Structure 1
Amino acid sequence: MRAFGWLLAAAALMVLGAGGWFAAGWYGESSLEQDTSFIVPQGSSLTAVAQKLEEEGIIGSAEAFLLRAKILGGGDAIQAGEFALPAGASPASILSMFQNGETINRFITIPEGMPSILVYERLMAEDLLTGEIPVPEEGSILPDTYSFERGENRTAVLARMQAAMRNYLAEAWPKRKPGIAVDNIRDAVILASIVEKETGKPSERRMVAGLYSNRVKTGMLLQADPTVIYPITKGKPLGRRIRQSELRAINDYNTYSMLGLPKGPITNPGRESIAAVLDPDSTSALYMVADGTGGHKFADTLEEHNANVAEWYELRRQRGEM
């Protein structure tokens, strides 16, 4: 009997030891020597993820990971995305991160007034994105900061940018001020793109929008320099002064040689420029010229405008720019 008791005790110790070993392999620190990022592809099963963990040297055995996960792990589904695994992370903590942890978010910023050709170049230059995209339609993107995941397709990121613009316009258009110069959303975006390019001062946007609205309503030429540049560079900086021949050029954008709005936006306007067009300042101004501070002087009459232009030219001469 005493011998049998020793056998039972020995068996119990063996079971306890095996259980301790089994648990230690789940809750104990791994051999991961440094913080590591790991991507769970969309639609992956836990089996596929375990195999990927083994292939990348994060765990020793996919089979052991799956067995312990089945017995000791939670039942929540794993989520796709990129995860930051800390050095020494236990298999238990790794599974918990996949199930309930936060994925790594990366960001790409589209500034207000960035034309679509530069949006395209920025997206294509982001090495952590995949896939090809065409140059987006001008005016279809809402400038903002957007999150993305490593390995995400550029098409998906671009789609979020364009959906954000559609959603903003759908929200803003019904709130427009009565009697504005445009009668549809597309024309509002076109006029907002001109406002975006014509002033770098947020405080001027509604005034500039009011001025151009007056010109549209009275049938005056808009004479907006950025509309001359757009057909030449597709929105990129011209890098020189506009030539007289370019001011006289006949095309669907040059508002020096055509009445009304250009055929399309000349950049991607931000929320504030769109809002300015939908609720412009009540002003009688028809003219503006730079004032040397990044803003403009506004005038109701051509006589006042010519005097402002003379002041601007004198300032430029004093600066040695003329």
Structure 2
Amino acid sequence: MQGASRSSPRARQRGHRHDRDGAVIDTSARAPRCDRKVGATRRGSCSPGDASTMINGMTDARSGDETTATLPSARSKQSPVGGFGAAVRETVLVLAVALVVSLVVKTFLAQAFFIPSESMEDTLLKGDRVIVSKLTPGPFDLHRGDVIVFSDPGHWLDPTVATRRGPVGTVVADALTFVGLLPEDSDEHLIKRVVGLPGDHVVCTEARSRVSVNGVAVDESAYLKPGVAPCGKVFDVIVPADRLWVMGDNRDHSGDSRYHPDAPYGGFVPVELVTGRAVAVVWPLGRGTWLGTPTDFDSVTGVSGVS
């Protein structure tokens, strides 16, 4: 008689049972089983914490390891429509800020202009884009030799034919130009070099001679188009207060102060019409260069600048 083949009533009473090989297994250490009503158990007690453990974790009776079942979080689910809407709002905000900044820069600091003619060759070529500083004149003085952009003082420019863009294209181009994202087409502006400041005596005794400012013959060969006559024609003027005398670098093809004695202001440019000083060529990239103040007028006496 093999006593190990059957479990004794005493062993069953203590909560033991035998497996197929006759080994005794303790069943009294089982985890409490909860009824539907949380807190009530068939054996022992079951707290809300136990119920949570039973929901979120499952115990492997053979290995004793605990496997956690993670439920998907509601926060991890994001609507594609909501994400697209957020991206659109962010893009609109960035564009609005960029437009405001561009408008502020154009109004108070700098503005881009398109060169429409050959009057400033070879310093500026037709089709170049230049940046004009609006801080000169103003916080910074305007000097002889500076290249400036100014509004037409009256009848200097010939009537131009507007570029055909269509209704939508015109509105878009005007809007982008207004905020400074497109350069001005210079239909109402000119670009020339300052030769005389208020009070200066500017003289040309003959076409091929140098321009004389306050008795000093100025050597302008550093920027004049090669082969052109420095004066082009004979004149003798004294620049009035708050006025400028301007000339193009391509003297043979520049309708500047020399050719408008009968126009409003007698060929002089009011300082108040000056948009600013051209400081750099920015397009084409291969022609990018800084437009500084030349030293050719340093020996000229009189006022050194005007604000």
Please state which band the TM-score falls in when normalised by the shorter chain.
under 0.3
TM-score by length of 1: 0.26
TM-score by length of 2: 0.27
Larger Rg: 2
Q: Which has the higher contact order (CA 8 A, sep 6+)?
A: 2
- Structure with the higher fraction of residues in helix conformation: 1
- Structure with the higher fraction of residues in strand conformation: 2
